[in-house]
Amino acid sequence: MTDTSYQSEVGAKAADSGANASARFRERMEQAGGRAGVVDTRRVDTLASRVIKAVTDAVLDEKVSYAEYNALKAWLIKVGEDGEWPLFLDVWIEHAVEEVASEHREGTKGTIEGPYYVQDAPELPWNGTIPMRDGEPGTPLVFEGQVRAVDGTPLGGAKLELWHADDLGFYSQFAPGLPEWNLRGTWIADDEGRFEIHTLRPAPYQIPTEGACGQLIAAAGWHAWRPAHLHFKVSAPGYELITSQLYFPGDPHNGDDIASAVKPELMLDPKPNPDAEGEVTVYDFVLDPEQ
């Protein structure tokens, strides 16, 4: 019997994914009161002026023609029409914002959230299995470790949110044919901050290329690949939430990730699981106290 869910998943379009990412971002901003945070008008003046000057300096230095300028205008319009502003900003800009936001941290390194986070994933016990389809393809992976404070204190009851792509490189709620919470879950650590997450090893994937972002990639001669990774948000009361991605050694795009999000501190070390099929890996999260 044909699995129509996989057929429809492969038929996912960049515009559909982009529209979903834009809608999710708007929902989160509405829940936050319509703004990402209060920004001083002087900072807006400073930052907007610098960005505009950088663009105009590039125009003058590179002797940009009207044909090139109009091509840029058409492309910017297409980014909006395709709903790909979250994708564009998260792939090419967010890594720099994250570096600034995390430069004070002593604990676990963070990296970008990306456009495919969805809050309120199903809650599971400290050793629960991520929601997945029957026969979900991929290598079984047991991910275990402990959540601690920078002073070594175990953080019992810490919350770990995990989401990742499936074996075809698609995320649930951003591609058709996938169950709502496929490969998304929230784990609550035990009293000693320990967790044992049962999931699958994700696959590397290309960011959507049929839309405006793909048009830029093709025009510039870039590649569209992201290495395989697990997304995490880890939090505990009184401590700073950490948003991170964890990577697998040997991936050909660890060194040239299109999103520039890979850091050596975020590399996993999977081993054959001695007790079951698949792999097991250990990684501890260390949280900084709230400032």
pLDDT in tens, 28-66: 667 666 555 667 899 999 999 999 999 999 999 999 999
Reported as half-sphere exposure (CB side, CA atoms, 13 A), residue 12 has a value of 25
CATH code that applies to domain 12-287: 2.60.130.10
Instruction: Compute the distance between CA of residue 272 and CA of residue 283 in angstroms, rounded to an integer.
Output: 15
Strand 285-287 and strand 140-149: pairing? parallel
Q: How confident is the model over 100-109, as pLDDT tens digits?
A: 999 999 999 9
Task: Using pLDDT thresholds of 50, 70 and 90, give the confidence band for residue 291.
Answer: confident
Q: Encode 109-124: b = buried (16+ Cβ within 10 Å), e = exposed.
A: ebbbbbbbbbeebeeb
Q: What value does the mean pLDDT take over residues 215-242?
A: 97
pLDDT at 37: 62
Q: How confident is the model over 181-226, as pLDDT tens digits?
A: 999 999 999 999 999 999 999 999 999 899 999 999 999 999 999 9
Alpha helices per DSSP H over the chain: 4-10, 14-31, 41-62, 66-81, 85-92, 94-102, 212-220
Task: Using pLDDT thresholds of 50, 70 and 90, give the confidence band for residue 76.
Answer: very high
- Residues 92, 229: contact at Cβ < 8 Å? no
Q: What is the pTM of this model?
A: 0.86
CB contact set of 88 (below 8 Å; sequence gap of 6+): 79, 212, 213, 216
Residue 163 sits at φ, ψ, to 5 deg, of: -145, 145
Q: How confident is the model over 130-148, as pLDDT tens digits?
A: 999 999 999 999 999 999 9
Instruction: Compute the distance between CA of residue 16 and CA of residue 26 in angstroms, rounded to an integer.
Output: 16
